[in-house]
Structure 1
Amino acid sequence: MSSGDGFITVQDGSMRWGRYGAAGVLVRCDGHVFVALRSPHSHHGGVWAIPGGALNSHETALEGALREFAEEIGVHLTDYEVAIEHEDDHGGWSYWTIVVDLPARFEAPDRLHWETSATNWVTLAELVELDLHPAFRATLARLGLI
């Protein structure tokens, strides 16, 4: 196993985090979605997004997204149904958004990973009013969720 931590230059010349790509999980339940406020100390800090990060060399997008969720939020998702697996291909590097549905909401622990300042369950109407990570907002629109 090789860690995916590190930046990579993609075809358009921009830098992306995750040597093997990256993935995040959007959790839905009872008309709400779970979002995280990125810490000011993290890349794109101060905006709302989904927990996610670099894929390791051996991981599928789903495995990496679930691992990142557990690392950043402290919750291991087990009873879920995958609704959407969306690949945003940047030419040799991809970000995967995995949308999962849960039968019941969970409460995030009070103590969060340093990359996350806060978490919340919000409706889609509330979600569009938040200061969202631009790529997250674009993905939500592409998926027809907002």
Structure 2
Amino acid sequence: MAHRDGDGWITCGCGGKHWGLHGAAGLLLVRGKTILMQHRAPWVHNGDTWGIPGGARDSHESPIEAAIREAHEEVGISGDQLSTGEIFTDDHGVWAYHTVIASAHDDLVAHEANDESKEVAWIDIDQVVNKNLHPSFANTWPQLLAKLKA
């Protein structure tokens, strides 16, 4: 396993604290008109909310590498089960969250792979707003949805 040097908090000019000393990345997996969502465990930061698998980037990782690694750790998938596409960046200057948009292959099966996930489910993109969303994901979802519907 490669050295993990990204874990830690950054205080940002937006007034918030963000996880990931080198930024963070998440995987927005799309299959048809659904996306794979993760119901976060109550004990994690912004727990008991819905979002996408993701987490801190390490200094040696690209956003795609970090997003796939985090998705593997949290929902048990691997990079050979998807095709990556566009990357959407929520840039805060000193910190950024990279959402890697990817198409899930038909054989991709996700599950709760560690204790950070309470539940994993394929959610219709028109129903996402009805979930109790992770605050940061809620902020970027309208822009991500526009990209998915384009």
TM-score (normalised: structure 2): 0.88
Cα RMSD (Å):
1.7
Query: How far apart, in 1, do the equivalents of 2:107 and 2:28 lie?
Result: 13
Deviation at 1:103? Answer: 3.0
Of Structure 1 and Structure 2, which has the larger fraction of its residues in helix?
2
Are the equivalent residues in 1 in contact too, given 2:30–2:101 (CA < 8 A)? yes
Deviation at 1:84? Answer: 1.9
What number of residue pairs does the alignment pair up?
145
Taking the TM superposition and a 5 Å limit, the aligned residue runs for 1:14-53 are 14-53=16-55
Are the equivalent residues in 2 in contact too, given 1:35–1:120 (CA < 8 A)? yes
Q: In the alignment, does 2:118 pair up with 1:117?
A: yes
TM-score (normalised: structure 1): 0.90
Deviation at 1:26? Answer: 0.6
- Unaligned 5+ segments in structure 1 are none
Aligned match of 1:96: 98
- Unaligned 5+ segments in structure 2 are none
Q: Secondary structure at the match of 2:44?
A: coil
Q: In the alignment, does 2:10 pair up with 1:8?
A: yes
Q: Secondary structure at the match of 2:84?
A: strand
Identity, % of aligned positions: 35
For structure 1, which segment, 12-21 or 39-48, has the greater mean C-alpha deviation from structure 2 after superposition? 12-21
Q: Deviations over 1:3-52 (max 9, x none)?
A: 10011112234221100000000100122110000000100001100000
Q: Deviations over 1:74-128 (max 9, x none)?
A: 221314222320110112100011110123153323x531111000011112222
Query: How far apart, in 2, do the equivalents of 1:11 and 1:37 lie?
Result: 28
Aligned match of 1:139: 140
